Amino acid sequence: MKRMVFFVFVALTLADMVFIPCLSAQTVQFPALEPDPRVLEFARRGDYSWRDIGEIALWASVVGAQGASNGSAQAELIRDAVAELLAMPDLPMDAKGRGEFVLTFVHQRFLKGYMENQTRMDEIFRTGRYNCVSSAVLYAVFATAAGLDVSGVMTKDHAFITVNTGAELIDVETTNPMGFDPGNRREFHDGFGRLTGYAYVPARNYRDRTSISQLELVSLILTNRISELERRNHFADAVPLAINRAALLRDRRNPVSSPFFTEPQQDLMDRLLNYGSSLMKSGQEATALQWAALASNRYPDDDRWQEFIYAALNNLLVKLVRAQRIADARNTLDANTAILSRDNFNRLEVLVLDAELVQHSEAVRTAEEAQAVLLTIDTARSRGAINESRTRELRNFIILKEGERLSSAESSLAAIRYTEAAIAKYGRDSQLENAVRIYRNNRLAEMHNAFADLYNNGDYDGAARVIHAALEEFPGNRNLTQDLNLVERALKNR
């Protein structure tokens, strides 16, 4: 029996979900979310005869399958074969002998060759191929028709049958024609009653086993079909099967609880989310969100849908931000605010807000614009939308950019005063302090060059005024002191 594999990618009902036009999803035909009407009738029956089990097994084998065989014809085939079995003169009267006889009958009549993935009953009648699930279901139908008390058994990766004789429980390994009571040898005699040999089917490791009802056994046909579809990445086709399985098992009187038997509602949610995740993997995040809106309204599970929505929106917003469609990212987040938990909204808000702040920062051209962005950054930090590290990084970008602008447009002195004022306001910062040192070096160069121009042109008085002013800003500077000595000698020798 193939084990189911599911992706586990990814709160709130999404009926009020809104999408902005520029990000509308592709037109997709989503899987049906309502169960097959027949399964609702199956679930209501309650006590299941062998005819019921055969009918439901054939339905489970073909529902949602393309080119499926004629179920009514195969149901008639089962009825005819049951009549043939019951009319056999050598059908034993005792339960143990009858159980072994039925196993021999179904193998001679129907079961021709084992195939691991062949879990469908209709395929048994068409090709004779079977696996542990399909052969166990077939045996259960005929054994029950023969008056035996049988139930299903499953382990981690296998399914078989148990026959209750009243005196003992006997395992039946239905994949083997000699699998009745595995682990015990079976004697063979010739026509004169003489022993000719033994057949022995070793018992498998049945330590970790779970008893299941015949209906639950039939549901494994759907389980295996789902597993096979998802293995081939047919996630959309797996969804209706999971919906039908959950509907089939919804009214069980004593539902099995086992790690080997996938709980129907849990299984259904896994399939819904796997399909949505497949949309995300193919780059259809907006379509995945539409799927979430549709499916969560019919099958709510706040925590799991919230995780999925967050993943889909995060992927979509990252794409928009990387494409520099920052306004679209903001519109998308705002349009979906109602369906996000507060924590998830805050996490996505950080992504969008950061992109907006970077965009605004890069667009700054004037002192007024720089001040406005700094205020926005401070406001975002005060409400916890960005952390301190990112705040400092963005703030420094603006301050350094404005300092450079002032240095080029006005003077290094203006840049020094602006940056020192920022340090006084926001606190010491090595990056800003280093910028001040660079501006001060530039300021020294500017004042020395102004001095040199005047001195070289013979304006010693003007050169002296410049160098005295420079020394007031940079007292004791060796280069400026040398300039002062030079101009003073020139003045004396004039």
Considering the chain, what percentage of its residues have pLDDT values greater than 90? 78
**CATH code for position 44:** 3.10.620
**For the chain, the helix, strand and coil percentages under 3-state DSSP, each to the nearest 5:** 60, 5, 30
Confidence of residue 21 (pLDDT cuts 50, 70, 90): very low
Q: pTM of the predicted model, to two decimals?
A: 0.77
Residue 371 lies in a domain: no
Q: What is the pLDDT of residue 68?
A: 60
Q: Is the pLDDT of residue 8 over 60?
A: no
* Contact partners, residue 84, CB within 8 Å, separation at least 6: none
CA distances from 98 to 161, 189, 310 (A): 14, 18, 58
Summarize pLDDT for 475-486 with one digit per residue, the tens. Answer: 999 999 999 999
Residue 43 lies in a domain: yes
Counting the structural domains of the chain, the total is 1
Q: What is the pLDDT of residue 30?
A: 96
Residue 5 lies in a domain: no
| Residue 124, domain extent | 30-262
Q: Is the pLDDT of residue 3 over 50?
A: no
Q: Which two three-digit tokens encode residue 455?
A: 């001195």
Q: What is the pLDDT of residue 19?
A: 42
If one counts every other C-beta atom within 10 angstroms of the C-beta of residue 322, the result is 10
Q: What is the pLDDT of residue 421?
A: 96
C-alpha–C-alpha distance, residues 316 and 196, integer Å? 73
C-alpha–C-alpha distance, residues 308 and 8, integer Å? 10
Residues 217 and 152 sit within 8 Å (Cβ to Cβ)? yes
Q: H/E element holding 475?
A: none
- Give me the mean pLDDT over the 97-108 stretch: 96
How would you write 383-429 as a 3-class SS string?
Answer: CCCCCHHHHHHHHHHHHHHHHHHHHHHCCHHHHHHHHHHHHHHHCCC
Q: Is the pLDDT of residue 440 over 60?
A: yes
If one counts every other C-beta atom within 10 angstroms of the C-beta of residue 331, the result is 18
C-alpha–C-alpha distance, residues 1 and 217, integer Å? 11
Q: Are strands 113-114 and 129-130 parallel, antiparallel or unpaired?
A: parallel
209: left (phi over 0), alpha (psi -120 to 50) or beta: beta
- Cα-Cα-Cα-Cα dihedral sign, residues 412, 417, 418, 424: positive
Residue 319 lies in a domain: no
Q: What is the pLDDT of residue 252?
A: 85
Q: Which amino acid is at 148?
A: L
Residues 195 and 189 sit within 8 Å (Cβ to Cβ)? yes
Residue 427 lies in a domain: no
Q: Is the pLDDT of residue 12 over 80?
A: no
Residue 473 lies in a domain: no
Residue 140 lies in a domain: yes
Summarize pLDDT for 238-266 with one digit per residue, the tens. Answer: 999 999 999 999 988 888 888 889 899 99
Q: What is the pLDDT of residue 208?
A: 78
pLDDT, mean over the chain: 88
Summarize pLDDT for 254-302 with one digit per residue, the tens. Answer: 888 888 898 999 999 999 999 999 999 999 999 999 999 999 999 999 9
Q: What is the pLDDT of residue 186?
A: 58
Q: What is the pLDDT of residue 348?
A: 95
Residue 25 lies in a domain: no
Q: H/E element holding 199?
A: strand 195-200
Q: Is the pLDDT of residue 195 over 90?
A: no
Summarize pLDDT for 318-358 with one digit per residue, the tens. Answer: 999 999 999 999 999 999 998 899 999 999 999 999 999 99
